[in-house]
Amino acid sequence: MSAYRITGETGEWEVIVGLEVHAQIVSQSKLFSGASAEYGGEPNTHVSLVDAGFPGMLPVLNRECVAQAVRTGLGLRAQINLFSRFDRKNYFYADLPTGYQISQFEHPIVGKGTVEIELSDGEVRHIGVTRMHMEQDAGKSIHDQDPTRSFIDLNRAGVALMEIVSEPDIRSPEEAGAYLRKLRQILRYLGTCDGNMEEGSMRADVNVSVRREGEEGYRTRCEIKNVNSVRFVMQAIEVEAQRQVDIWESGGEIDQETRLFDHVKSETRSLRTKEDAHDYRYFPEPDLLPLVIEQSWVDELKAALPELPEDKRARLEKEYGVSRYESGVLTAEQSVADFYETVARGADARLATNWILGDFFAALNRTGRSIEDSPVSAEALRELLALISDSTINGKIAKEVLEDMVETGERASVIVDRKGLRQVTDTGAIEAAINDILAANADKVAEYKSGKDKLFGFFVGQTMKAMKGKANPAMVNELLKKLLTA
């Protein structure tokens, strides 16, 4: 694939992107308190005194959150730091009850790792992960409910987040999108983050700079805060890179600053300049001891990790003979892969692949359902395919049966029996039907015999129609040939 370049007045520019992804850890309770970490709920109902920063309250680290962070680090093929430490990041805001966020600044729990991405042309790239740390989320300020007052919802305050920081290895909006989707896929496979960007459980800060083609080193970057969809991240990079190129080319300078992406106007806007940047006054959190974990515990977690997307993909290709493209689609979500394997295991894998990627996905799309609430279970689909394999029905009838299954939720065999769709393999019945058709179309038979081979299809169609589609197609072919040459 040709490299992504922005063509300016004076030449070609390369885009340099690094992403900081905030991913909410899947856990029952918050990072340092027993309050529920569940999304939603009436405002301020998932709040403990610790989350609300009451005097004398102390944080107590949630062991499950640490396990989730370690699993994530393992999933990113990253260094797990047996010693890590929490720090306080100090700033004042109304939805930050204690006036500081507990984070890991100097000693994160996860060190360097990599994420493998695949681009649309099949090119594979490795994006470095610099580090990953745990931190607590802030609450939510609500400014649009009252003309003079703001409201604070602390349900989210204290929920555990992972901040995954990439190296500045990303070179195009497409790569950024692929990286985010891959990261999301890994986290969802691991069950460490639900990856739900609409609910804010994954958000990205995007660092963008540009440089002339062939230039060494980096120019000043800007950070675009809190972008909450893959599409917006890609758009933001595009417009921000273009903005920077325009400024450089007109002889200007880029100021290091924090910017916001406005997707309606498709532009980025300055949020605060370097001069207004917070001085977070990081220092070690004195209410918590350093976090020391055992290698044996890491090993235990590693042994219990689910199969990761790349591994699963390779295995599906090997075990079921699916193509590289098909394995990509089938492993995009773990639930799809599980569904696929339930259907394909011990069945005709090719038939299963074609049906799932074809008619079954089409049925899901048509009904607007996801694989999790599919109207047809994997077991039911397997039964349908078995009916094809053992010639109980033919493929065409099977499509009709699937539609019926989606609608009624009935089993394939029940529908086949109810509608009398069982394939006719009785030679006598088929022969009788063919003879009727040949008799009624004597002119066409003559044309056929005089060399108009194409008419064979016409006879097949007429026979199937007469048999209401239930005739075994192979037998129809065979008998037609025999009777037409008789």
Partner 1 sequence: MSSIFDYTLASAREALRARKVSAVELVDAHIEAIERLDGGLNSFITRTPEQARLAAKEADTLLAKGEGGSLCGLPIGIKDLFATEGVRTTAASKILGNFVPPYESTVTANLKRDGAISLGKLNLDEFAMGSTNLTSAFGGVENPWKRRDSDAKLVPGGSSGGSAAAVAAGLVLGATGTDTGGSIRQPAAFCGITGIKPTYGRCSRFGTIAFASSLDQAGPMARNLQDCAILLESMAGFDPKDSTSVNKPVPHYEAALGRGVKGLKVGIPKEYRIDGLPAEIEAIWQQGINWLKEAGAEVVDISLPHTKYGLPAYYIAALAEASSNLARYDGVRFGERVKGDSLDALYEATRAAGFGDEVKRRILLGTYVLSSGYYDAYYLRAQKVRTLLQRDFLKAYETVDVILAPTAPSGAFAWDEKPTDPVQVYLNDVFTVPASMAGVPALSIPAGLDSRGVPLGLQLIGRFFDEETLLAAGSVLEKAASFTHRPTIHAGVSA
Give contact residues for partner 1 (rule: CB under 8 A). 49, 52-61, 88, 90, 92-94, 97-100, 150, 152, 279, 281-283, 286-289
Question: Alpha carbon of 7 to those of 119, 135, 213: distances in Å?
Answer: 22, 40, 10
Tokens coding 392: 């109980």
Would you say 109 or 401 has its CB closer to partner 1?
109
Would you say 149 or 454 has its CB closer to partner 1?
149
Q: Distance between alpha carbon 120 and the CA centroid of its chain, in Å?
A: 15
User: Which phi and psi (to 5°) does residue 412 adopt?
Assistant: -55, -45
Shortest spacing between CB 108 and partner 1, in angstroms: 19
Shortest spacing between CB 100 and partner 1, in angstroms: 5
- Count the neighbouring beta carbons within 10 Å of the beta carbon of residue 276: 10
Distance separating alpha carbons of residues 40 and 32, to the nearest angstrom: 19
Tokens coding 410: 């009935």
Would you say 143 or 265 has its CB closer to partner 1?
143
Distance separating alpha carbons of residues 431 and 15, to the nearest angstrom: 70
202 DSSP β-pair partners: 23
208 DSSP β-pair partners: 17, 222
Question: If DSSP codes are grouped into helix, strand and coil, which group holds residue 46?
Answer: coil
Shortest spacing between CB 157 and partner 1, in angstroms: 11
Would you say 98 or 185 has its CB closer to partner 1?
98
Would you say 92 or 251 has its CB closer to partner 1?
92
Shortest spacing between CB 149 and partner 1, in angstroms: 11
Q: Are 424 and 470 in contact (CB under 8 A)?
A: yes
- Beta strands (DSSP E) in 167-315 are 202-212, 222-227, 257-262, 267-273, 283-284, 291-292
Shortest spacing between CB 97 and partner 1, in angstroms: 6
Do the bridges between strand 283-284 and strand 87-90 make them parallel or antiparallel, or are there none, so unpaired? Answer: antiparallel
Would you say 3 or 49 has its CB closer to partner 1?
49
Describe the crossing of helices 334-344 and 309-320 by its angle, rounded to 10 degrees.
20
Q: What angle do CA 238, 239, 243 make, to 5 degrees?
A: 120
Eight-class DSSP state of 360: I
Would you say 97 or 195 has its CB closer to partner 1?
97
Would you say 58 or 303 has its CB closer to partner 1?
58
Shortest spacing between CB 69 and partner 1, in angstroms: 17
Burial of 6 (0-12, 13-18, 19+ CB in 10 A): middle
Would you say 61 or 119 has its CB closer to partner 1?
61
Shortest spacing between CB 104 and partner 1, in angstroms: 15
For the chain, the straight-line distance linking the first and the last C-alpha, in angstroms and rounded, comes to 59
Shortest spacing between CB 316 and partner 1, in angstroms: 45
Q: Distance between alpha carbon 137 and the CA centroid of its chain, in Å?
A: 23
Shortest spacing between CB 216 and partner 1, in angstroms: 29
Shortest spacing between CB 84 and partner 1, in angstroms: 14
Would you say 14 or 285 has its CB closer to partner 1?
285
Tokens coding 255: 């100021």
Q: Write the DSSP string, 87-112.
A: EEEE---TT-TTSEEEE-SSS-SB--
